[in-house]
Amino acid sequence: MEPIPYGRQWIDDDDVAAVVAVLRGDWLTQGPAVEAFEDALRAVTGARHAVCLSSGTAALHAACWAAGLGPGDVVATSPLSFAASANAARYVGAEVAFVDVEPDTWNLDPSRVPADAAAVVAVHYAGLPVDLRRLSRRPRVVIEDAAHAIGAVTPDGPVGNCAHSDLCCFSFHPVKTVTTGEGGAVTTNDDALAERLRRFRHHGIVARPDEGGWVYDIPELGYNYRLTDVQAALGTSQLAKLERFVARRNELAGRYRALLVDLDVGLPPAAPAGFRHAYHLFPVHVAHRRRVYDHLRRNGIGTQVHYVPTYRFGAYSSQRARALPHTDALYAGLLSLPLFPALRHDDQDRVVAELAAALETAP
Ligand X SMILES: Cc1ncc(COP(=O)(O)O)c(C=O)c1O
Question: Residue 301 and residue 193: Cα distance in Å, rounded?
Answer: 43
**335 φ/ψ angles, rounded to the nearest 5 degrees:** -160, 125
Using left for φ > 0, alpha for ψ between -120 and 50, and beta otherwise, residue 183 falls in left
Question: Residue 312 and residue 70: Cα distance in Å, rounded?
Answer: 23
Question: Residue 193 and residue 196: Cα distance in Å, rounded?
Answer: 5
> Closest distance between ligand X and the C-beta of residue 274, in Å?
23
Question: Residue 60 and residue 78: Cα distance in Å, rounded?
Answer: 14
Spatial contact of 341 and 245, defined as CB atoms under 8 Å apart: yes
Q: Of 64 and 352, which CB lies nearer to ligand X in the complex structure?
A: 64
Give buried/exposed letters for 128-153 (b at 16+ CB in 10 A, else e): bbbbbeebeeebebbbbbbbbbbbbb
Q: Of 19 and 147, which CB lies nearer to ligand X in the complex structure?
A: 147
> Closest distance between ligand X and the C-beta of residue 9, in Å?
13
> Closest distance between ligand X and the C-beta of residue 84, in Å?
4
How big is the chain, counted in residues?
363
Binding-site ranges for ligand X (CB under 6 A)? 55-57, 81-82, 84-85, 123, 145, 147-148, 171, 173, 184
> Closest distance between ligand X and the C-beta of residue 236, in Å?
17
Residues 6+ apart with CB under 8 A from 134: 110, 111
> Closest distance between ligand X and the C-beta of residue 11, in Å?
17
Q: Of 226 and 295, which CB lies nearer to ligand X in the complex structure?
A: 226
Q: Of 304 and 348, which CB lies nearer to ligand X in the complex structure?
A: 304
Spatial contact of 359 and 286, defined as CB atoms under 8 Å apart: yes
- Is residue 281 helix, strand or coil? coil
Q: Of 260 and 340, which CB lies nearer to ligand X in the complex structure?
A: 340
Q: Of 170 and 256, which CB lies nearer to ligand X in the complex structure?
A: 170
Q: Of 40 and 186, which CB lies nearer to ligand X in the complex structure?
A: 186
Residues 6+ apart with CB under 8 A from 177: 127, 150, 151, 242, 245, 246, 249, 278, 280
Strand-pair partners of 122: 144
Question: Residue 163 and residue 189: Cα distance in Å, rounded?
Answer: 9
Q: Of 54 and 161, which CB lies nearer to ligand X in the complex structure?
A: 54
> Closest distance between ligand X and the C-beta of residue 14, in Å?
23
Q: What is the 3-state secondary structure (H, E, C) of 155-173?
A: CCEECCCCCCCCEEEEECC
> Closest distance between ligand X and the C-beta of residue 133, in Å?
21
> Closest distance between ligand X and the C-beta of residue 19, in Å?
19
Q: Of 153 and 169, which CB lies nearer to ligand X in the complex structure?
A: 169
> Closest distance between ligand X and the C-beta of residue 28, in Å?
20
Q: CB nearest ligand X: which residue?
A: 56
Distances in whole angstroms, Cα of residue 136 to Cα of each of 9, 115, 120, 291: 38, 9, 12, 40
